[in-house]
Amino acid sequence: MDGREALEPIEGQRMTFQEGPAAAPVPDAGGHPAHAYARAIVRGLELAMLVVLVAVLVIAAGELARRSTLTGLAEEAVSRLPLAATALRGELDKQRALPAILSEDPTVREALRGNAAATLLVDEKLRRLQLSTRAAVIYVIDRDGRTIAASNFEETTSFVGRNYRFRRYFEGALAQGSAEQVALGTVSGRPGVYIARRVGASAETAEGVVVLKVELDDLEADWKAGGAPIYVADSRGIVVATSVPDWRFKTLRELSGEEAAEIRDSLQFGTGPLEPLPLKADSAFPGLVVDAGGRQFVDASAPVVGGLPGWRLHLLLPTVAPVAAAQSLARLVAGLAVALVLAAAALVLRRLSRRRAERAEEARRAIELEAKVADRTRDLGAANDRLTAEIGERARAEARVLSLRDDLAQANRLATLGQITAGVAHEINQPLAAIRTYSENAGLFLDRGDVETARANLATVVGLTRRIAEITDTLRGFARRGDAVQAPVEIEAAVDGALLILGSRIHASPAQVVRRSGAGGAAVLASRVRLEQVLVNLVRNALDALGEAPGGRVEIATAADEDGVRLTIADNGPGISDSVRATLFTPFATTKPNGLGLGLVIAGDIVTELGGTLRLDAGRAEGAAFTIELPRGRAP
């Protein structure tokens, strides 16, 4: 509708006023120049007001659209931050375990001690690991900061022989056990994250440091492919990773001369610019920044959980195109709305038509809303199904782990049972021979009519068979897979069962087994079979340690108080060396020629399941002593 159509009702009203009844003839005002001028002024004012109204509405609509779009962009940027942060954390996490594992590698320790053959082996091992893990480089530094082995030992840019004592990650790893640092390589000239782990239990005993360098080129390329500038700033505000290469090693604030000099002296960022990013805050809207080219971005940031301390991830979304599109659409809608309002004021039919259109639009929006709700419900249902499946898979995996652990414990019991079978056969043969003799004698006494003596012989036979049944029942219970159901078990009864199982082994050994029972009737909540398995392992280990040496002694002592039960198995054998102590509870670590290295591991797991602890007592003058502490069990 143009200005002429908007003014037609006003002209009509003037003509009606002149043609209506009057007390006296009224001359045509249109013929008077003053009246025509006044009408022109009124029409001009009305037109100006209309134009101003339309302009205000269009401008307001554009501003609302701009703010709404900026708010939406800010929310979108915030929603995209976790994905970018997860990708960064994942890139670091998948490499962090390797330096820790290598720091425990005996070959690495030998290389640090000057073993040339071990150094060659470490070089080759690091090269293979670097290829398989896609790390930039892996290297080993001795306590003086000199690189003794590296994955790039065959390259012209090899790190071998170079000294990195000046690096903070080296100093931090020696002092604290581990350290991570972002720096520019002094040899490669490429930036990366250096992950360092100390070789040695403490700073005083440290032999060196294992370092792995992670370069984030692939991650930065993925960020760049996403279309939105992304960068990570450290605690000092220095950009350490970015999808915009020109922003690397620039800062979020102006560094002082002292700060810049300190950073350059440390060679952490080489000759990096250390100048402020070409971004300035825009006060027109919270979180807006403008680059040197005048482009406007929404800046969303969040700490990087799992990154280096003080890291903060920034994601920038450009606003110019989205805001311009939203404003154009909003202004168009505003103009159409104004046109509809004016048409409705002039024409009732248009008003009715507009109302019908509004109702139709509301219905359409309701349908769209219902469709969106249905889509969202389906998405939530699918997500719930996936989550349920993942939970089920995890439960099955945990069940498999528990099953494998039970199988391992069962194998240990059967191995123990196999070792004591020969002695048990001897234990059973003795009462069997006695049964035969007493039975034959009972027959002779019956032939002679000596019923009382025959009855006494038969009673002895019954006692001997009960002894055999007791031995076989104990062995059968020990061989069975442990029952997961726990019940109160008297600690002294568990010791009796373990000694019964080891009876033949004890009789065949020159060592003396002594009991000091101080627990009385104290009980623990446990599976008796699994508890006896722990005791059998510990007593058998003590007998093995004593061997055939004369004067051997194994002491089993129990004690109890209101809170728990303590059981100690000690021997006066050669004891346990410091090197063996370090791996005592490590799977497959054994000092026996035919040992599996699982007995103490399984025993420790069982005691932990029962809520207790198994430890090797320190400070003994001779032999070794293991102490089990368990909470007291109450009968249900």
HSE-CB of 195 using CA atoms within 13 angstroms: 23
Q: Are 283 and 260 in contact (CB under 8 A)?
A: no
- Distance (Å, rounded) from C-alpha 367 to C-alpha 389? 33
Amino acid at 387: L
CA 235 to chain CA centroid, nearest Å: 23
Q: Give the model confidence (pLDDT) of 480-505 as tens digits.
A: 545 556 889 999 999 998 888 888 78
Dihedral in degrees, nearest 10, Cα atoms 481, 483, 484, 486 = -150
Q: Give the model confidence (pLDDT) of 433-454 as tens digits.
A: 668 776 877 888 888 888 888 8
Q: Which two tokens stand for residue 363?
A: 């219905």
Q: Which of 241, 215, 196 is nearest to 85 (CA)?
A: 241
Read off the pLDDT of each residue in 50-58 and give the average, rounded to a whole number: 78
Q: Which two tokens stand for residue 219?
A: 């991650």
* 140: phi then psi, degrees, rounded to nearest 5: -120, 130
Question: What's the confidence (pLDDT) of residue 471?
Answer: 58
Q: Give the model confidence (pLDDT) of 199-221 as tens digits.
A: 999 989 999 999 999 999 999 99
Helices (H) and strands (E) in the chain, counts: 15, 18
Above 70 in pLDDT, residue 342?
yes
Above 80 in pLDDT, residue 477?
no
Q: Give the model confidence (pLDDT) of 572-602 as tens digits.
A: 988 888 888 877 777 766 777 666 667 788 8
Above 50 in pLDDT, residue 9?
no
Question: What's the confidence (pLDDT) of residue 594?
Answer: 61
Q: What is the DSSP letter of 292?
A: T
- Distance (Å, rounded) from C-alpha 617 to C-alpha 271? 56
- Distance (Å, rounded) from C-alpha 437 to C-alpha 514? 33
Across 331-359, b (16+ Cβ under 10 Å) vs e yields beebeeebebebbbeeeeebeeeeeeeee
Q: Are 162 and 146 in contact (CB under 8 A)?
A: yes
Question: What's the confidence (pLDDT) of residue 475?
Answer: 56
pLDDT band at residue 50 using 50, 70 and 90 as cut-offs: confident
Q: Choose between 417 and 3: higher pLDDT.
A: 417
Read off the pLDDT of each residue in 10-19 and give the average, rounded to a whole number: 43
Above 50 in pLDDT, residue 635?
no
CA dihedral for 427, 432, 433, 435, sign (positive or negative): positive
Question: What's the confidence (pLDDT) of residue 208?
Answer: 95
DSSP letters, 222-277, are HHHHTSS-EEEE-TTSBEEEESSGGGTT-BSSPPPHHHHHHHHHTTSSTT----B-
Question: What's the confidence (pLDDT) of residue 16?
Answer: 44
Read off the pLDDT of each residue in 60-84 and give the average, rounded to a whole number: 82
Read off the pLDDT of each residue in 266-271 and give the average, rounded to a whole number: 82
SS3 state at 338: helix
Helices 33-103, 320-346: crossing angle, 10 deg rounding: 150
pLDDT band at residue 32 using 50, 70 and 90 as cut-offs: low
Q: Which of 612, 459, 622, 434 is nearest to 526 (CA)?
A: 612
Question: What's the confidence (pLDDT) of residue 179?
Answer: 94
Region of poorest pLDDT, from 83-87, 319-323, 430-434, 512-516: 430-434
Residue 57 CB coordination number (10 Å): 16
Q: Which of 125, 249, 245, 139 is nearest to 187 (CA)?
A: 139
Q: Give the model confidence (pLDDT) of 230-251 as tens digits.
A: 999 998 988 989 999 989 988 8
Question: What's the confidence (pLDDT) of residue 35?
Answer: 76
514: which strand partners?
Answer: 555
Question: What's the confidence (pLDDT) of residue 555?
Answer: 95
Q: Give the model confidence (pLDDT) of 375-386 as tens digits.
A: 889 888 888 888
Read off the pLDDT of each residue in 402-419 and give the average, rounded to a whole number: 59
Above 90 in pLDDT, residue 571?
yes
Residue where the block lists tokens 């939105």: 228
Question: What's the confidence (pLDDT) of residue 470?
Answer: 56
Q: Are 542 and 569 in contact (CB under 8 A)?
A: yes
SS3 annotation, 209-227:
EEEEEECCHHHHHHHHHCC
- Distance (Å, rounded) from C-alpha 474 to C-alpha 532? 10
Q: Are 125 and 111 in contact (CB under 8 A)?
A: no
- Distance (Å, rounded) from C-alpha 304 to C-alpha 312? 5
- What is the pLDDT of the chain when averaged over all its residues? 82
Read off the pLDDT of each residue in 115-144 and give the average, rounded to a whole number: 95
Q: Cα angle at 124 between 122 and 128, to 5 degrees?
A: 115
Question: What's the confidence (pLDDT) of residue 197?
Answer: 97
Read off the pLDDT of each residue in 451-464 and give the average, rounded to a whole number: 79
Read off the pLDDT of each residue in 550-561 and give the average, rounded to a whole number: 93
516: which strand partners?
Answer: 557
Question: Which domains are present in the chain?
Answer: 83-320 (3.30.450.20), 482-631 (3.30.565.10)
pLDDT band at residue 469 using 50, 70 and 90 as cut-offs: low
Region of poorest pLDDT, from 137-141, 480-484, 501-505, 617-621: 480-484
User: What is the rounded radius of gyration, in angstroms, for the C-alpha atoms of the chain?
Assistant: 44
Q: Cα angle at 270 between 265 and 274, to 5 degrees?
A: 85
Q: Give the model confidence (pLDDT) of 144-186 as tens digits.
A: 999 999 999 999 999 999 999 999 999 999 999 999 999 988 8
Question: What's the confidence (pLDDT) of residue 556?
Answer: 95
Above 90 in pLDDT, residue 554?
yes
Residue ranges of the alpha helices (H) in 104-151? 106-112, 116-133
- Distance (Å, rounded) from C-alpha 363 to C-alpha 340? 19
DSSP letters, 13-67, are HHHHHHHS--SS----GGGSHHHHHHHHHHHHHHHHHHHHHHHHHHHHHHHHHHH
Residues in CB range of 349: below 8 A, 6 or more apart = none
Is the backbone of residue 181 left (phi > 0), alpha (psi -120 to 50) or beta?
A: beta
Question: What's the confidence (pLDDT) of residue 195?
Answer: 96
Residues in CB range of 413: below 8 A, 6 or more apart = 478, 479, 482, 529, 533
Q: Which two tokens stand for residue 126?
A: 């690091």
Q: Are 435 and 457 in contact (CB under 8 A)?
A: no
Read off the pLDDT of each residue in 494-520 and give the average, rounded to a whole number: 88
In the chain the first and final C-alpha atoms are separated, in Å, by: 90
Question: What's the confidence (pLDDT) of residue 15?
Answer: 43
Helices 528-546, 599-609: crossing angle, 10 deg rounding: 150
What percentage of the chain has pLDDT greater than the value 90?
32
DSSP letters, 470-521, are HHHHHHHHHHSPPPS--EEEEHHHHHHHHHHHTHHHHHHSSSEEEEE---TT
Question: What's the confidence (pLDDT) of residue 193?
Answer: 95
- Distance (Å, rounded) from C-alpha 526 to C-alpha 507? 29
Residue 35 CB coordination number (10 Å): 14
Helices 528-546, 348-448: crossing angle, 10 deg rounding: 60
pLDDT band at residue 558 using 50, 70 and 90 as cut-offs: very high
pTM value is 0.46
